[in-house]
């Protein structure tokens, strides 16, 4: 009886581990997106002090 339980446990462990890993990957991707957004906002605030740079940047793109 315990052998059946052990086999069932071993089969569910990789699924739970994989699920946890995928959740961590999603969480890290979300965190990187938030950090990227914050960096872009900070850059926009810094560039707001130099309007001549913003017009040059628009023409360069």
Average pLDDT over residues 30-46: 96
Give the pLDDT confidence of 1-17 residue by residue, as tens digits: 455 555 555 555 668 88
**How far apart are the C-alpha atoms of 48 and 13, rounded to whole Å?**
52
Q: How many residues does the chain have?
A: 61
Are 29 and 23 in contact by the 8 Å Cβ rule? The answer is no
pLDDT band at 59 (very low <50, low <70, confident <90, very high): low
């Amino acid at each position: 009886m315990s052998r059946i339980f052990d086999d069932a446990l071993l089969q569910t462990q990789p699924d739970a581990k994989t699920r946890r890993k995928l959740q961590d990957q999603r969480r890290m991707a979300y965190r990187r997106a938030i950090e990227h957004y914050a960096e872009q906002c900070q850059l926009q605030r810094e560039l707001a002090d130099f309007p001549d740079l913003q017009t040059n940047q628009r023409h360069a793109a």
